[in-house]
Amino acid sequence: MKGSHEIIIQNRRLRYKITVNRNITILRGNSATGKTTLIEMVDEYSKDGPESGIQLRCDKRCVVLSRGNWERDLQDYHDSIVFIDEGNGFVKSIAFAESVKQSDNYFVIATRDSLFNLPYSIDEIYGIKNTSGNRYQGTKRIYSELYRIYNPDAFQGKPDKIIVEDSNSAYEFWRAICAKEGIVCETAKGKSNLFGLVQKSEENRILAIADGAAFGPEMERAMSLKNVKNVVYFLPESFEWLILRSGLVESAELGEILAHPADFIESKKYISWERFFTALLIEHTRAERLSIHKKEQAKSLPLPVI
Amino acid sequence: MLNIIFGETDKAIYNTSVHFDNTYYDSWLDDKFARQMILSVDRATVLSNHAVDSKALGIIPVTKISGGLKTLLLIYNNPDMIFNASTCGDNCAKWILRIAKKSEKDITINLRHIMDFGDKSFEIRIKNNDTIVHNMAELVQYAGYFIGEKYEG
Protein backbone atom coordinates (compact mmCIF):
# COMPACT_ATOMS: atom_id res chain seq x y z
CA MET A 1 0.00 0.00 0.00
CA LYS A 2 1.09 3.57 -0.64
CA GLY A 3 -0.04 6.96 0.54
CA SER A 4 -1.61 8.64 3.54
CA HIS A 5 -5.13 7.52 4.40
CA GLU A 6 -7.63 9.39 6.53
CA ILE A 7 -10.05 7.39 8.65
CA ILE A 8 -13.13 9.00 10.15
CA ILE A 9 -15.23 6.74 12.33
CA GLN A 10 -18.14 7.83 14.47
CA ASN A 11 -21.28 6.87 16.31
CA ARG A 12 -23.71 9.01 18.28
CA ARG A 13 -21.28 9.51 21.12
CA LEU A 14 -17.77 9.38 19.69
CA ARG A 15 -15.93 10.56 16.61
CA TYR A 16 -12.35 9.71 15.74
CA LYS A 17 -10.35 11.24 12.95
CA ILE A 18 -6.97 9.74 12.25
CA THR A 19 -4.52 9.66 9.38
CA VAL A 20 -2.10 6.79 8.77
CA ASN A 21 0.98 7.67 6.74
CA ARG A 22 3.02 4.49 6.55
CA ASN A 23 2.92 0.77 7.16
CA ILE A 24 3.20 0.80 10.96
CA THR A 25 1.41 3.21 13.30
CA ILE A 26 1.68 2.79 17.07
CA LEU A 27 -1.02 3.98 19.51
CA ARG A 28 -0.03 4.49 23.13
CA GLY A 29 -0.33 7.19 25.78
CA ASN A 30 -2.51 7.42 28.87
CA SER A 31 -5.20 4.96 29.87
CA ALA A 32 -8.85 5.78 29.15
CA THR A 33 -8.17 7.86 26.05
CA GLY A 34 -10.22 5.57 23.81
CA LYS A 35 -7.76 3.27 22.03
CA THR A 36 -9.75 0.12 22.68
CA THR A 37 -13.05 1.85 21.96
CA LEU A 38 -11.72 3.02 18.58
CA ILE A 39 -10.62 -0.50 17.66
CA GLU A 40 -13.90 -2.01 18.86
CA MET A 41 -15.80 0.42 16.61
CA VAL A 42 -13.65 -0.56 13.63
CA ASP A 43 -14.30 -4.22 14.45
CA GLU A 44 -18.07 -3.75 14.71
CA TYR A 45 -18.17 -1.83 11.43
CA SER A 46 -16.05 -4.44 9.64
CA LYS A 47 -18.47 -7.16 10.72
CA ASP A 48 -21.83 -5.43 10.33
CA GLY A 49 -21.12 -2.45 8.08
CA PRO A 50 -23.57 0.48 8.26
CA GLU A 51 -26.08 -1.76 10.07
CA SER A 52 -23.85 -1.43 13.12
CA GLY A 53 -24.91 2.21 13.38
CA ILE A 54 -21.30 3.21 12.98
CA GLN A 55 -20.16 5.41 10.13
CA LEU A 56 -16.70 4.81 8.75
CA ARG A 57 -15.11 6.82 5.96
CA CYS A 58 -11.81 5.66 4.48
CA ASP A 59 -10.58 4.86 0.98
CA LYS A 60 -9.22 1.54 2.30
CA ARG A 61 -10.86 -1.39 4.02
CA CYS A 62 -10.37 -1.27 7.81
CA VAL A 63 -10.24 -4.54 9.76
CA VAL A 64 -9.23 -5.80 13.20
CA LEU A 65 -6.76 -8.62 13.81
CA SER A 66 -6.90 -10.61 17.06
CA ARG A 67 -4.97 -13.39 18.71
CA GLY A 68 -6.01 -16.95 17.99
CA ASN A 69 -5.75 -17.59 14.27
CA TRP A 70 -4.07 -14.28 13.46
CA GLU A 71 -1.72 -15.80 10.86
CA ARG A 72 -4.59 -17.38 8.93
CA ASP A 73 -6.76 -14.28 9.23
CA LEU A 74 -3.96 -12.00 8.05
CA GLN A 75 -3.65 -13.98 4.83
CA ASP A 76 -7.17 -12.85 3.94
CA TYR A 77 -6.40 -9.15 4.34
CA HIS A 78 -4.91 -7.23 1.45
CA ASP A 79 -4.59 -3.52 0.76
CA SER A 80 -6.29 -2.94 4.10
CA ILE A 81 -5.64 -1.01 7.30
CA VAL A 82 -5.30 -3.62 10.04
CA PHE A 83 -5.97 -2.56 13.65
CA ILE A 84 -4.59 -4.59 16.56
CA ASP A 85 -5.57 -3.88 20.16
CA GLU A 86 -3.55 -4.16 23.35
CA GLY A 87 -3.31 -7.63 24.84
CA ASN A 88 -2.33 -9.36 21.60
CA GLY A 89 1.09 -10.68 22.52
CA PHE A 90 1.81 -11.94 19.01
CA VAL A 91 2.77 -8.41 17.92
CA LYS A 92 6.13 -8.93 19.63
CA SER A 93 6.86 -12.16 17.78
CA ILE A 94 9.32 -12.66 14.95
CA ALA A 95 6.55 -14.45 13.01
CA PHE A 96 4.41 -11.31 13.11
CA ALA A 97 7.33 -9.10 12.09
CA GLU A 98 7.95 -11.36 9.10
CA SER A 99 4.26 -11.18 8.16
CA VAL A 100 4.35 -7.38 8.28
CA LYS A 101 7.43 -7.29 6.05
CA GLN A 102 5.64 -9.32 3.38
CA SER A 103 2.31 -7.55 3.72
CA ASP A 104 0.62 -4.99 1.48
CA ASN A 105 -1.42 -3.78 4.48
CA TYR A 106 -0.88 -0.89 6.87
CA PHE A 107 -0.98 -1.75 10.58
CA VAL A 108 -2.28 0.34 13.50
CA ILE A 109 -1.11 -1.30 16.73
CA ALA A 110 -2.16 -0.26 20.24
CA THR A 111 0.67 -1.23 22.55
CA ARG A 112 3.12 0.24 25.03
CA ASP A 113 5.54 -2.63 24.44
CA SER A 114 8.57 -1.66 22.38
CA LEU A 115 8.32 -3.88 19.29
CA PHE A 116 12.03 -4.41 18.70
CA ASN A 117 11.39 -6.73 15.74
CA LEU A 118 9.63 -4.01 13.75
CA PRO A 119 11.35 -0.94 12.25
CA TYR A 120 8.69 1.71 12.86
CA SER A 121 9.21 5.44 12.70
CA ILE A 122 9.43 7.87 15.60
CA ASP A 123 6.94 10.03 13.69
CA GLU A 124 4.24 7.37 13.73
CA ILE A 125 3.88 6.90 17.49
CA TYR A 126 0.70 8.61 18.62
CA GLY A 127 -1.56 9.17 21.56
CA ILE A 128 -5.27 10.00 21.37
CA LYS A 129 -6.62 13.27 22.70
CA ASN A 130 -10.08 14.70 22.91
CA THR A 131 -10.21 17.87 20.85
CA SER A 132 -13.75 18.99 21.55
CA GLY A 133 -17.19 17.82 22.43
CA ASN A 134 -20.70 18.98 21.65
CA ARG A 135 -24.26 18.03 22.34
CA TYR A 136 -25.62 15.86 19.58
CA GLN A 137 -29.22 14.65 19.75
CA GLY A 138 -29.17 14.40 23.50
CA THR A 139 -25.77 12.85 23.86
CA LYS A 140 -22.43 14.53 24.10
CA ARG A 141 -20.25 13.52 21.19
CA ILE A 142 -16.55 13.61 21.89
CA TYR A 143 -14.16 14.35 19.05
CA SER A 144 -10.80 12.61 19.23
CA GLU A 145 -7.68 12.95 17.17
CA LEU A 146 -4.15 11.64 17.28
CA TYR A 147 -1.18 13.61 18.51
CA ARG A 148 2.50 12.82 18.05
CA ILE A 149 4.03 11.59 21.28
CA TYR A 150 7.56 12.63 20.34
CA ASN A 151 7.88 16.21 19.17
CA PRO A 152 10.91 17.96 17.69
CA ASP A 153 13.38 18.99 20.35
CA ALA A 154 15.82 21.84 19.70
CA PHE A 155 19.43 21.58 20.78
CA GLN A 156 20.88 24.79 22.15
CA GLY A 157 24.61 25.31 21.72
CA LYS A 158 27.40 22.89 21.02
CA PRO A 159 27.43 19.30 22.32
CA ASP A 160 30.41 17.79 24.12
CA LYS A 161 29.90 14.51 22.38
CA ILE A 162 28.05 13.10 19.40
CA ILE A 163 27.00 9.46 19.39
CA VAL A 164 26.02 8.04 16.01
CA GLU A 165 23.91 4.90 15.70
CA ASP A 166 25.54 4.02 12.39
CA SER A 167 29.09 2.68 12.00
CA ASN A 168 29.49 3.27 8.26
CA SER A 169 28.89 6.32 6.10
CA ALA A 170 26.90 8.38 8.60
CA TYR A 171 29.53 7.84 11.26
CA GLU A 172 32.32 8.81 8.85
CA PHE A 173 30.43 11.98 7.99
CA TRP A 174 29.73 13.05 11.57
CA ARG A 175 33.21 12.08 12.72
CA ALA A 176 34.71 14.41 10.11
CA ILE A 177 32.51 17.26 11.35
CA CYS A 178 33.34 16.53 14.97
CA ALA A 179 37.07 16.51 14.22
CA LYS A 180 36.72 19.95 12.66
CA GLU A 181 34.67 21.27 15.58
CA GLY A 182 36.63 19.60 18.37
CA ILE A 183 33.77 17.38 19.50
CA VAL A 184 34.12 13.78 20.64
CA CYS A 185 32.38 11.39 18.22
CA GLU A 186 31.59 7.75 18.80
CA THR A 187 29.60 5.09 16.99
CA ALA A 188 27.09 2.94 18.85
CA LYS A 189 27.39 0.23 16.17
CA GLY A 190 23.64 -0.24 16.04
CA LYS A 191 20.53 1.43 17.45
CA SER A 192 20.09 -1.10 20.26
CA ASN A 193 23.48 -0.08 21.71
CA LEU A 194 22.63 3.61 21.83
CA PHE A 195 20.92 3.47 25.23
CA GLY A 196 23.94 1.92 26.96
CA LEU A 197 26.48 4.14 25.26
CA VAL A 198 24.65 7.37 26.09
CA GLN A 199 24.27 6.30 29.70
CA LYS A 200 27.92 5.37 30.13
CA SER A 201 29.22 8.57 28.53
CA GLU A 202 30.95 10.93 30.90
CA GLU A 203 30.39 14.04 28.80
CA ASN A 204 27.66 16.43 29.93
CA ARG A 205 25.98 17.48 26.70
CA ILE A 206 25.31 14.64 24.32
CA LEU A 207 23.80 14.70 20.86
CA ALA A 208 22.67 11.26 19.67
CA ILE A 209 22.01 10.71 15.98
CA ALA A 210 20.02 7.83 14.51
CA ASP A 211 17.70 7.01 11.61
CA GLY A 212 14.25 8.15 12.74
CA ALA A 213 12.52 5.95 10.16
CA ALA A 214 13.30 2.83 12.19
CA PHE A 215 14.09 4.21 15.65
CA GLY A 216 10.55 3.89 17.03
CA PRO A 217 11.16 0.78 19.18
CA GLU A 218 14.15 2.46 20.85
CA MET A 219 12.50 5.82 21.35
CA GLU A 220 10.97 5.30 24.76
CA ARG A 221 14.11 4.14 26.53
CA ALA A 222 16.15 6.71 24.63
CA MET A 223 13.89 9.50 25.87
CA SER A 224 13.88 8.09 29.40
CA LEU A 225 17.60 8.90 29.54
CA LYS A 226 16.65 12.55 29.85
CA ASN A 227 16.11 11.69 33.52
CA VAL A 228 19.81 10.91 33.76
CA LYS A 229 21.66 12.80 31.01
CA ASN A 230 21.55 16.06 29.13
CA VAL A 231 20.89 14.28 25.84
CA VAL A 232 19.14 15.46 22.70
CA TYR A 233 18.33 13.31 19.69
CA PHE A 234 18.68 14.25 16.05
CA LEU A 235 16.58 11.74 14.18
CA PRO A 236 16.25 12.45 10.46
CA GLU A 237 14.52 9.76 8.38
CA SER A 238 17.95 8.39 7.48
CA PHE A 239 21.43 9.54 6.44
CA GLU A 240 20.54 8.92 2.80
CA TRP A 241 17.46 11.14 3.26
CA LEU A 242 19.75 13.91 4.55
CA ILE A 243 21.92 13.63 1.44
CA LEU A 244 18.90 13.69 -0.84
CA ARG A 245 17.61 16.79 0.98
CA SER A 246 20.99 18.55 0.85
CA GLY A 247 20.65 19.60 -2.78
CA LEU A 248 23.70 17.62 -3.89
CA VAL A 249 21.55 15.36 -6.01
CA GLU A 250 19.64 17.10 -8.76
CA SER A 251 16.47 15.57 -10.09
CA ALA A 252 13.16 16.96 -11.28
CA GLU A 253 11.13 14.36 -9.41
CA LEU A 254 13.13 14.38 -6.18
CA GLY A 255 11.43 17.45 -4.72
CA GLU A 256 8.01 15.90 -5.14
CA ILE A 257 9.13 12.58 -3.64
CA LEU A 258 10.72 14.21 -0.60
CA ALA A 259 7.70 16.46 -0.06
CA HIS A 260 5.26 13.53 -0.13
CA PRO A 261 7.22 10.31 0.44
CA ALA A 262 4.13 8.33 1.49
CA ASP A 263 2.75 8.65 -2.03
CA PHE A 264 5.81 6.96 -3.53
CA ILE A 265 6.79 4.27 -1.01
CA GLU A 266 5.16 0.87 -1.48
CA SER A 267 4.98 -0.73 1.96
CA LYS A 268 5.29 -4.27 0.64
CA LYS A 269 8.59 -3.42 -1.04
CA TYR A 270 10.05 -1.24 1.71
CA ILE A 271 9.40 -2.28 5.30
CA SER A 272 10.96 1.02 6.38
CA TRP A 273 11.33 4.37 4.63
CA GLU A 274 15.08 4.38 5.18
CA ARG A 275 15.39 1.48 2.72
CA PHE A 276 13.46 3.44 0.13
CA PHE A 277 15.70 6.49 0.53
CA THR A 278 18.81 4.30 0.23
CA ALA A 279 17.49 2.81 -3.01
CA LEU A 280 16.52 6.28 -4.25
CA LEU A 281 19.97 7.69 -3.56
CA ILE A 282 21.70 4.81 -5.32
CA GLU A 283 19.37 5.16 -8.30
CA HIS A 284 19.93 8.91 -8.60
CA THR A 285 23.70 8.77 -8.28
CA ARG A 286 24.41 5.66 -10.32
CA ALA A 287 25.73 7.46 -13.37
CA GLU A 288 27.00 10.57 -11.67
CA ARG A 289 30.29 11.73 -10.29
CA LEU A 290 28.56 11.44 -6.94
CA SER A 291 28.04 7.73 -7.44
CA ILE A 292 28.47 6.78 -3.84
CA HIS A 293 27.78 4.00 -1.50
CA LYS A 294 28.27 3.35 2.20
CA LYS A 295 31.59 4.70 3.50
CA GLU A 296 32.37 6.50 0.26
CA GLN A 297 29.28 8.70 0.75
CA ALA A 298 30.83 10.63 3.56
CA LYS A 299 34.03 11.56 1.76
CA SER A 300 32.08 13.20 -1.05
CA LEU A 301 30.01 15.50 1.12
CA PRO A 302 30.78 19.09 2.09
CA LEU A 303 30.86 19.49 5.86
CA PRO A 304 28.28 21.71 7.54
CA VAL A 305 29.21 23.85 10.54
CA ILE A 306 27.53 23.03 13.86
CA MET B 1 6.89 -2.42 48.66
CA LEU B 2 6.40 -2.35 44.89
CA ASN B 3 8.43 -4.90 42.93
CA ILE B 4 8.80 -4.67 39.17
CA ILE B 5 9.80 -7.37 36.72
CA PHE B 6 10.92 -5.64 33.53
CA GLY B 7 10.71 -7.45 30.20
CA GLU B 8 8.88 -10.57 29.14
CA THR B 9 8.00 -13.11 31.78
CA ASP B 10 5.82 -16.21 31.93
CA LYS B 11 4.93 -15.36 35.52
CA ALA B 12 2.58 -12.50 34.60
CA ILE B 13 -0.97 -12.39 33.21
CA TYR B 14 -0.44 -10.61 29.87
CA ASN B 15 -3.99 -9.93 28.65
CA THR B 16 -5.33 -8.30 31.78
CA SER B 17 -8.55 -7.12 30.15
CA VAL B 18 -9.78 -10.63 29.40
CA HIS B 19 -8.62 -11.84 32.81
CA PHE B 20 -10.52 -9.03 34.53
CA ASP B 21 -13.76 -9.65 32.60
CA ASN B 22 -13.78 -13.27 33.70
CA THR B 23 -12.61 -12.96 37.29
CA TYR B 24 -13.76 -9.70 38.86
CA TYR B 25 -16.22 -9.63 41.74
CA ASP B 26 -19.06 -7.12 41.98
CA SER B 27 -17.82 -6.27 45.46
CA TRP B 28 -14.63 -4.79 44.00
CA LEU B 29 -16.64 -1.72 43.01
CA ASP B 30 -17.97 -1.17 46.53
CA ASP B 31 -14.51 -0.27 47.77
CA LYS B 32 -13.85 3.44 48.40
CA PHE B 33 -10.25 3.33 47.15
CA ALA B 34 -11.34 1.51 43.96
CA ARG B 35 -13.95 4.20 43.33
CA GLN B 36 -11.29 6.89 43.67
CA MET B 37 -9.18 5.12 41.04
CA ILE B 38 -12.16 4.80 38.71
CA LEU B 39 -12.92 8.51 39.03
CA SER B 40 -9.29 9.50 38.55
CA VAL B 41 -8.37 7.31 35.57
CA ASP B 42 -11.63 6.91 33.65
CA ARG B 43 -13.37 10.02 34.93
CA ALA B 44 -16.24 7.71 35.77
CA THR B 45 -18.58 7.47 38.75
CA VAL B 46 -19.67 4.11 40.11
CA LEU B 47 -23.47 3.88 40.00
CA SER B 48 -23.67 0.35 41.37
CA ASN B 49 -21.37 -2.61 41.39
CA HIS B 50 -22.70 -3.45 37.91
CA ALA B 51 -22.37 -0.09 36.15
CA VAL B 52 -20.36 3.10 35.99
CA ASP B 53 -21.17 6.47 34.47
CA SER B 54 -18.29 7.42 32.21
CA LYS B 55 -17.78 10.96 30.97
CA ALA B 56 -16.81 9.66 27.52
CA LEU B 57 -19.00 6.59 27.09
CA GLY B 58 -22.07 7.21 29.26
CA ILE B 59 -23.42 4.45 31.48
CA ILE B 60 -21.41 1.30 30.81
CA PRO B 61 -20.99 -2.14 32.37
CA VAL B 62 -17.87 -2.78 34.42
CA THR B 63 -16.36 -4.81 31.59
CA LYS B 64 -16.19 -1.63 29.47
CA ILE B 65 -13.94 0.37 31.77
CA SER B 66 -10.45 1.16 30.45
CA GLY B 67 -7.77 -1.50 30.17
CA GLY B 68 -5.51 0.41 32.53
CA LEU B 69 -8.18 0.60 35.20
CA LYS B 70 -8.95 -3.11 34.88
CA THR B 71 -5.28 -3.83 35.55
CA LEU B 72 -5.24 -1.52 38.58
CA LEU B 73 -8.27 -3.29 40.04
CA LEU B 74 -6.65 -6.68 39.41
CA ILE B 75 -3.42 -5.61 41.13
CA TYR B 76 -5.36 -4.12 44.05
CA ASN B 77 -7.52 -7.17 44.60
CA ASN B 78 -4.96 -9.91 43.83
CA PRO B 79 -1.77 -8.88 45.64
CA ASP B 80 -0.31 -12.37 45.23
CA MET B 81 -0.58 -12.36 41.44
CA ILE B 82 1.58 -10.64 38.82
CA PHE B 83 -0.06 -8.63 36.03
CA ASN B 84 1.23 -6.95 32.89
CA ALA B 85 1.04 -3.30 33.96
CA SER B 86 2.13 -2.11 30.52
CA THR B 87 -1.60 -2.09 29.88
CA CYS B 88 -1.57 0.98 32.13
CA GLY B 89 -0.69 4.47 30.95
CA ASP B 90 1.39 6.89 32.96
CA ASN B 91 -1.82 8.25 34.48
CA CYS B 92 -2.05 4.95 36.39
CA ALA B 93 1.48 5.15 37.83
CA LYS B 94 0.57 7.07 41.00
CA TRP B 95 -2.18 4.55 41.70
CA ILE B 96 0.20 1.61 41.40
CA LEU B 97 2.46 3.28 43.97
CA ARG B 98 -0.54 3.93 46.24
CA ILE B 99 -1.74 0.33 45.96
CA ALA B 100 1.71 -0.90 46.95
CA LYS B 101 1.85 1.51 49.88
CA LYS B 102 -1.61 0.50 51.05
CA SER B 103 -1.06 -3.23 50.72
CA GLU B 104 0.14 -5.31 53.64
CA LYS B 105 1.94 -7.58 51.19
CA ASP B 106 4.63 -6.80 48.62
CA ILE B 107 3.09 -6.11 45.22
CA THR B 108 4.80 -7.32 42.06
CA ILE B 109 3.97 -6.04 38.59
CA ASN B 110 5.41 -6.72 35.16
CA LEU B 111 6.40 -3.84 32.87
CA ARG B 112 7.38 -4.14 29.22
CA HIS B 113 7.91 -0.41 28.89
CA ILE B 114 9.40 2.33 31.09
CA MET B 115 6.49 3.73 33.05
CA ASP B 116 6.91 7.30 34.26
CA PHE B 117 6.45 7.27 38.03
CA GLY B 118 6.83 11.04 38.24
CA ASP B 119 9.21 13.46 39.91
CA LYS B 120 8.63 12.45 43.52
CA SER B 121 10.81 9.90 45.29
CA PHE B 122 9.61 6.32 45.73
CA GLU B 123 10.91 2.93 46.71
CA ILE B 124 10.74 0.23 44.06
CA ARG B 125 12.62 -3.04 43.89
CA ILE B 126 13.66 -4.10 40.40
CA LYS B 127 13.41 -7.87 40.50
CA ASN B 128 15.66 -8.41 37.48
CA ASN B 129 18.75 -7.38 39.44
CA ASP B 130 17.25 -7.22 42.94
CA THR B 131 18.04 -3.52 43.24
CA ILE B 132 16.01 -0.87 45.08
CA VAL B 133 15.63 2.44 43.24
CA HIS B 134 14.32 5.71 44.63
CA ASN B 135 13.57 7.95 41.65
CA MET B 136 13.17 7.88 37.87
CA ALA B 137 16.85 8.61 37.23
CA GLU B 138 17.82 5.48 39.13
CA LEU B 139 15.01 3.43 37.62
CA VAL B 140 15.77 4.12 33.95
CA GLN B 141 19.43 3.20 34.37
CA TYR B 142 18.39 -0.42 34.84
CA ALA B 143 14.98 -0.61 33.19
CA GLY B 144 16.30 0.30 29.75
CA TYR B 145 18.49 -2.80 29.71
CA PHE B 146 15.76 -5.17 30.85
CA ILE B 147 12.68 -4.21 28.81
CA GLY B 148 13.85 -6.01 25.69
CA GLU B 149 14.86 -9.16 27.51
CA LYS B 150 13.17 -12.15 29.05
CA TYR B 151 13.10 -12.44 32.84
CA GLU B 152 14.05 -15.95 33.91
CA GLY B 153 14.00 -15.46 37.68
The pLDDT tens digits for A192-214 are 999 999 999 999 899 999 999 99
B86 touches chain A (CB under 8 A): yes
Whether the predicted pLDDT of A306 surpasses 50:
no
Q: Nearest CA of chain A to the CA of B42: how many Å?
A: 5
Q: What mean pLDDT is reported for chain B?
A: 96
Binary contact (A31, B136; C-beta < 8 A): no
**Contact of A65 with A73, CB cutoff 8 Å:** yes
In sequence order, the 6+-apart residues with CB closer than 8 A to the CB of B63 are B20, B21
Q: pLDDT grade, residue A134 (50/70/90)?
A: low
Q: pLDDT grade, residue A149 (50/70/90)?
A: confident
pLDDT in tens, B91-148: 999 999 999 999 999 999 999 999 999 999 999 999 999 999 999 999 999 999 999 8
Q: Nearest CA of chain B to the CA of A224: how many Å?
A: 6
Q: pLDDT grade, residue A136 (50/70/90)?
A: very low
In sequence order, the 6+-apart residues with CB closer than 8 A to the CB of A190 are A165, A167
Sign of CA dihedral A47, A50, A55, A56: positive
Instruction: Name which of B67, B137, B141 is nearest A86 (Cβ-Cβ).
Output: B67
Q: What is the spatial distance between Cα B127 and Cα A76, in angstroms, rounded to a whole number?
A: 42
B16 touches chain A (CB under 8 A): yes
Q: How much is the pLDDT for A304?
A: 47
Q: Nearest CA of chain B to the CA of A114: how many Å?
A: 7
Q: Residues B17-35: what's their mean pLDDT?
A: 97
Q: How much is the pLDDT for A161?
A: 96
Instruction: Name which of A29, A113, A130 is nearest B86 (Cβ-Cβ).
Output: A113
Q: How much is the pLDDT for A204?
A: 85
Percent of chain A with pLDDT over 90: 77
ipTM: 0.94
Binary contact (B18, A87; C-beta < 8 A): yes
Which of B19, B140, B141, B142 is the best residue to mutate to test the A interface, defined by the most A CB atoms within 10 Å of its own CB? B140
Residue B66 with chain A: CB contacts under 8 Å: 31-32, 36
Q: How much is the pLDDT for A79?
A: 97
Binary contact (A224, B143; C-beta < 8 A): yes
Q: How much is the pLDDT for A25?
A: 96
Q: What is the spatial distance between Cα B144 and Cα B141, in angstroms, rounded to a whole number?
A: 6
Q: How much is the pLDDT for A150?
A: 74
Q: Residues A161-180: what's their mean pLDDT?
A: 95
Binary contact (A32, B17; C-beta < 8 A): no
**Contact of B55 with B108, CB cutoff 8 Å:** no
pLDDT in tens, B126-140: 999 999 999 999 999
Query: Which residue on chain B is closest to A130 by alpha carbon?
Result: B56
Architecture of domain A5-148: 3-Layer(aba) Sandwich (3.40)
Q: How much is the pLDDT for A293?
A: 52
**Contact of A155 with A178, CB cutoff 8 Å:** no
Residue A198, by phi and psi: left (phi above 0), alpha (psi -120 to 50) or beta? alpha
Q: pLDDT grade, residue A299 (50/70/90)?
A: low
Q: pLDDT grade, residue A137 (50/70/90)?
A: very low
Chain A residues with CB under 8 Å of a chain B CB are 13-14, 28-37, 67, 86-89, 92, 111-114, 116, 130, 139, 142, 192, 195-196, 199, 220-221, 224-225, 227-228
Whether the predicted pLDDT of A152 surpasses 80:
no
pLDDT in tens, A233-273: 999 999 999 999 998 888 889 999 999 999 999 999 999 99
DSSP codes, A251-276: -TTHHHHHHSGGGT--TTT-SSHHHH
Query: Which stretch of A127-141, A195-209, B30-44 has the lowest confidence by average pLDDT?
Result: A127-141
Q: What is the spatial distance between Cα B149 and Cα B144, in angstroms, rounded to a whole number?
A: 10
Q: How much is the pLDDT for A129?
A: 87
Q: How many CB atoms lie within 10 A of CB A43?
A: 19
